[in-house]
Amino acid sequence: MPVPNLKIEDLHVSIEDKHIVKGFNLEINGGEIHAVMGPNGTGKSTLASALMGHPKYEVTQGKVTLDGKDLLDMEVDERARAGLFLAMQYPSEVSGVTNADFLRTAINARREEGNEIPLMKFIKQLDKRMDLLDMDQEFAQRYLNEGFSGGEKKRNEILQLMMLQPHFAILDEIDSGLDIDALKFVARGVNDMRSPDFGCLIITHYQRLLNYITPDKVHVMMQGRIVKSGGPELAEKLEAHGYDWIKEELGIEDETVEA
Ligand SMILES: Nc1ncnc2c1ncn2[C@@H]1O[C@H](COP(=O)(O)OP(=O)(O)O)[C@@H](O)[C@H]1O
Ligand SMILES: [Mg+2]
């Protein structure tokens, strides 16, 4: 299988006629983890939603390919079947569907008919991965996200990621609201996914998650586009000095998309 590739070229996204993402460029190959960091209101979540095909977000310009195929041309479920996984900042609750049922259905939806995952194999994988994430076994039988704490929802999303084994994942603020323990388990799950067949885009405001997941590349987003790129040391510098020095260096007064 060729190495997975996600390529975003000159992407512009609007919502309700408001221009938010303004010329975003990024290429990620399998085996790589990239972090997009930035202050609030710089268009990070809008970028994630547009890539996943959220109907409210309108792509007005640019091109996105996943393994050479036009991603923007695909329906949401096609994007998922093509190997894209998106963890949302605010995961929703689904009543009446257990976590385990949901996972098995989602896995089988990505497989050919007649080639469903054998139940025992599924259970074995689920057990192993819940163990790695330090999740209680009863979690599998709970209704999806219902009454989950913020930390449980995030951990559950990483469980979904590990079970679905997508080629690409976009994780939007997967670290928000997590205590240090939960953060470590989330990082453990993402690190476990690392392989030449997997590429990952981590979107985060804070550097602390990157203490546990070392990104290959770090990009800073302001005013709806990448304004600076570097290695893991860039995230460390942001941790120590915040974002102001970048604004000064680049002569940016207002970092938000309103500018
Ligand atoms: N659903 C929406 N409706 C209206 N405006 C939105 C919506 N989503 C985002 N925006 C606008 O886009 C700007 C960027 O938001 P967002 O992409 O969430 O940034 P970030 O994730 O970097 O904090 C916000 O300041 C907001 O004004
Ligand atoms: Mg956001």
pLDDT one-digit tens code per residue, 73-90:
999 888 988 899 977 555
Instruction: For residues 22-32, give the mean pLDDT.
Output: 98
How confident is the model at residue 91, as a pLDDT? 56
The pLDDT tens digits for 176-202 are 888 898 899 999 999 999 999 999 999
The CATH code of the domain at 5-93+162-250 is: 3.40.50.300
Closest ligand 1 atom, residue 20 Cα: 12
Is residue 4 within 8 Å of 67, Cβ to Cβ?
yes
Instruction: For residues 154-178, give the mean pLDDT.
Output: 91
Tell me the CA–centroid distance for residue 103 and ligand 2, in Å.
Answer: 26
d(Cα 11, Cα 89) in Å, to the nearest integer? 21
How confident is the model at residue 154, as a pLDDT? 87
| Domain edges within the chain | 5-93+162-250
The more confident residue out of 210 and 91 is 210
Chain mean pLDDT for the chain: 92
Q: Is the dihedral of CA 101, 106, 109, 112 positive or negative?
A: negative
Closest ligand 1 atom, residue 42 Cα: 22
